[in-house]
Amino acid sequence: DIQMTQSPSTLSASVGDRVTITCRASQSISGWLAWYEQKPGKAPKPLIYETSNLESGVPSRFSGSGSGTEFTLTISSLQPDDFTTYYCQQYNSYPWTFGQGTKVEIK
Amino acid sequence: EVHLLESGGGLVHPGGSLRLSCAASGFTFTSYTVSWVRQAPGKGLECVSSVSVSGDNRYYVDSVKGRFIISRDNSKNMLYLQMNSLRAEDTAIYFCATIMSARPCWGQGTLVTVSS
């Protein structure tokens, strides 16, 4: 199985900050990576698919980049609604695997 | 509009059984591998099981092998997860999900609680 290592596990930041979350895969996943945000009690909401494609309706302050085994999610200017948990997921091969999650907290 | 709707969750005693269902609509169900993903309380996401378009290829995470069975009925656009010999550690929200044209699609989930 492909292991996904997501960092940091917790991130403290302020409104307006630029933040970056990283996911590293144990082998190449050829760009088949998605990013999700998850609010408490809700299903994961896709933000980005295939490394860098923004889902419909997702604000442009979110962006994704990377290739091979290293990928990043960037929020250019944190908004109050962005303080939640984020996950990466590889879907290059089954089983799908996920990063451990990053909780973005208010500093 | 693409829609996945899970049902069948509930409270069950350890050792009991439960069958989850996922109704798919708004897309060609018969063209995509579909999966069950779970999330235990306060924990991360884990892909439990996946089934190929034809149903011939099935994946199970080690912790559920021999206890869970995934199946699909392409004539009804339905995905199922038969869960037997349930354990406390199976307590989680179970989501059905698929990838269509590189884009993930998830249902809202159904809660399974295993407790005496």
Q: How far apart are CA B6 and CA A88, in angstroms?
A: 23
B59 contacts A87? CB cut-off 8 A: no
Once rounded to an integer, what is the mean pLDDT over residues A24-47?
A: 96
Which residue in the set A89, A94, A101 is minimally distant from B50, CB to CB?
A: A94
Residue-wise DSSP of A58-91? --TTEEEEEETTEEEEEESS--GGG-SEEEEEE-
Percent of chain B past pLDDT 70, that is, above it, reads 100
Once rounded to an integer, what is the mean pLDDT over residues A9-26?
A: 98
B95 contacts A49? CB cut-off 8 A: no
Once rounded to an integer, what is the mean pLDDT over residues B16-22?
A: 98
B106 contacts A87? CB cut-off 8 A: no
* pLDDT band with cut points at 50, 70 and 90 for residue B33: very high
The pLDDT of residue B43: 96
The pLDDT of residue B70: 98
Residue of A nearest to B109 (CA): A43
Chain A residues with CB under 8 Å of B109 CB are: 43
The pLDDT of residue A77: 97
Beta carbons of B34 and B96 less than 8 angstroms apart:
yes
Q: Which of B30, B2, B9, B1 is nearest to B106 (CA)?
A: B2
* pLDDT band with cut points at 50, 70 and 90 for residue B46: very high
CA angle, B65 as apex, B85 and B28 as ends, to 5°? 105
* pLDDT band with cut points at 50, 70 and 90 for residue A75: very high
Q: How far apart are CA B66 and CA B69, in angstroms?
A: 8
Beta carbons of B39 and B46 less than 8 angstroms apart:
yes
Shortest CA gap B62–chain A (Å): 11
What are the tens digits of pLDDT across the range B57-110? 999 999 999 999 999 999 999 999 999 999 999 999 999 999 999 999 999 999
Q: Is B34 exposed, middle or buried (0-12, 13-18, 19+ CB in 10 A)?
A: buried
The pLDDT of residue A99: 98
The pLDDT of residue A58: 97
What are the tens digits of pLDDT across the range B79-93? 999 999 999 999 999
Residues sharing a CB contact under 8 Å with residue A10, sequence separation 6 or more, in sequence order: A102, A103, A105
The pLDDT of residue A15: 97
The pLDDT of residue B18: 98
